[in-house]
Structure 1
Amino acid sequence: MVHPYLRGARTPRVLAHRGLVTPDAAAAGVVDNSFAAVAAAHAAGVEFVESDCHLTADGVVVLVHDDDLSRIAGDPRRVADVRLHELADLLADRGGLLTLEQALDAFPDLRFNLDVKADGAEEAVGRLVAPHAERVLLTSFSDERRLAALAAAERAGAPLLPATSPGSRTLGRLLAALTMRSRRATDAALRDLDALQIPERHRRLRVLTPRLLDAAHAHDVEVHVWTVNDPEDMRRLRRAGVDGLVTDRADVALALSA
């Protein structure tokens, strides 16, 4: 059964990677995952925003990608060592801080693809997304964090589990199963997933293959490829049959779909 997170949205899915920061916005100092970046994606007509969850020193889930603030604020401290009000001050002229709670409340018609980046954030993320589970996908490179966040959402009374895509370990199991042509192992790796969110290649390994696409689609699992910014790559991947594109240029991807 298709999860409500995916149901009714246009295809191919356009997932705005950390919101939308156009070259002009970047020149003005706006950073990714900021309130301005998510608002720009929403204004452009995006239905899906991919973002990242970290926990501040005072236990607030914020949408920030990196472990530290060097890139986005010129501050070497880790997100986990900074209190909410400090982070808000640092990002005030960079598009504005966005907490997960604010994002879910301020953009009620957006669907959020959330990567749980930090150990210890699972419980708070699960609790916050529980009332919004029909429009949230939870993922992480760590399957342990991903599953812990899903379990936290269930404990918090989510009417259904959020959608999910696999971490590195599960994806590795799937790629091995496809290489061995093991139907049983493939079935096990794809069980309880709603999407595979993958790079086209990882170093010399080709991750996206026709065999992977066929196996995923046979299990009603979508395939979303990241991070795709070149228009010709967008066209090529759409022709190949992928279901979604994670992109820094959601405006360009939407224009190609128009």
Structure 2
Amino acid sequence: MDALSVILLLLCLPVYVACSLFLLHNPCLLHKRKKLNFHCRHISHRGGSGEKIENTMEAFTHAVAVCTEMLEMDCHLTLDGCVVVSHDKNLLRQSGCDKTISSLRFQDLPLYKERLEVTFYVGHYSTGKDREFVLLEDVFKKFPNMPMMIEIKENNDLLIKKVSCLVKQYDRESITVWASEESEVMTKCQKQNPSIPYMFTMKRGLLLLLLFYTGLLPFVPLGESVLLFYLPRVINRTYIPEESYLKNRFVVYLIQKLTMRKSLFEHLSKRGLQVQLFVCNEESDIEAAFAVGATGVLTDYPSLLSNYLRKHPLPPPAVH
């Protein structure tokens, strides 16, 4: 590199940094703000799996009764082609039956265990009168106006198509969110129904961080509508992950420092995206999530979150 190139680079760099910082705080000068039909601060994880058995109709009904604003759930396909709400593909943890959902007809699915440990609150258990698996269609019928985040738990074209058809049938495209950590699955979801808002996959989330730290984010359009991510402080405290690398204290500390950036979350919020942190099952975690800029919190304890929001009313969503 010759001297002139070095001088030009040194002159351009401050301009680039200044423009990036300015647009980070004023993104709507470049990007049209997303207008979603929901703004959810209170999201019930698996329907509120700490207060009722996860993903049952009783859990969803209870969460709605205590004023949740969104239901989060996961879907699988049964042997006879029914879209069933369930987090796990294998039924062992949930029911004690070591079989996959795809190997059974809907009518042959076992009951949930009488006591089920809360995944994100180790050592705590939930119970309930309802222990039956539920069809996604029945949840749509029961709560026609409730926003829902639906995670596609397997790379299954028929499952994606059937979920899309149900969303269309019940006129829910504007209040349903496609969710998946896998880029290949999300690509299929978007192709199947591009009208449904969607979240960042793991790969896209890493790209988001790279864009943020290089200053490029303010210049790049984003198709996603929701950023869903762990609140890192719950890892190895209320939630014990299976991944060995997440058991390393330094790794979790690094994730905390790199991801919990208020300026990033505020930038996304100004662009009309929603930032949802999970899973917050203690009041201090709920407080920490909102303090860092989350627009919404996922919890297994919808009553706890409702009580927190009553005691600590948040300002209305900003309109830019």
* TM-score where L is the length of structure 1: 0.84
Alignment of 1:126-145 (within 5 A): 126-130=164-168, 131-145=171-185
Number of residue equivalences: 237
Secondary structure of 1:205 counterpart: helix
Contact 1:55–1:80 at 8 Å: present in 2 too? yes
The match for 1:209 is 261
The match for 2:125 is none
2:195 aligned with 1:164? no
Tell me the amino acid that sits aligned with residue 2 of structure 1. Answer: K
Contact 1:5–1:137 at 8 Å: present in 2 too? no
The match for 1:187 is 220
The match for 1:220 is 272
Tell me the amino acid that sits aligned with residue 46 of structure 2. Answer: R
Distance 1:105 1:150, change over 3 A: farther
Percent identity between the two aligned chains: 20
Query: Quick one: distance in 2 between partners of 1:95 and 1:43?
Result: 19
Query: Quick one: distance in 2 between partners of 1:225 and 1:109?
Result: 23
Tell me the amino acid that sits aligned with residue 237 of structure 1. Answer: A
Tell me the amino acid that sits aligned with residue 95 of structure 1. Answer: R
Query: Which deviates further from its counterpart, 91-100 or 174-183?
Result: 91-100
2:139 aligned with 1:103? yes
The match for 1:174 is 208
Distance 1:97 1:183, change over 3 A: closer
Decide which structure has the larger Cα Rg and report it: 2
Distance 1:147 1:127, change over 3 A: farther
Deviations, residues 44-102 of structure 1 (Å, cap 9, x unaligned): 12121000011111211111001110111111111111111111x53597532211111
**Partner residue of 1:147 out of 176, 181, 187:** 187
Secondary structure of 2:132 counterpart: coil
Tell me the amino acid that sits aligned with residue 16 of structure 1. Answer: S
2:60 aligned with 1:38? yes
Query: Quick one: distance in 2 between partners of 1:137 and 1:112?
Result: 6
Query: Quick one: distance in 1 between partners of 2:191 and 2:81?
Result: 19
Deviation at residue 196 of structure 1 after TM alignment: 0.5
Deviations, residues 190-221 of structure 1 (Å, cap 9, x unaligned): x1111111112373412221232133124221
2:157 aligned with 1:124? no
**Partner residue of 2:285 out of 226, 233, 241:** 233
Instruction: Specify every segment of 5 or more residues in structure 1 that has no aligned partner in the other structure, as ranges.
Output: 26-30, 155-160
Q: CA RMSD in A?
A: 2.0
**Partner residue of 2:111 out of 74, 90, 94:** 90
Deviation at residue 225 of structure 1 after TM alignment: 0.2
Instruction: Specify every segment of 5 or more residues in structure 2 that has no aligned partner in the other structure, as ranges.
Output: 1-33, 114-128, 233-245, 247-251, 311-320
The match for 2:93 is 71
Secondary structure of 2:111 counterpart: helix
Higher strand proportion (structure 1 or 2): 1
2:77 aligned with 1:55? yes
* TM-score where L is the length of structure 2: 0.69
Query: Which deviates further from its counterpart, 244-253 or 140-149?
Result: 140-149
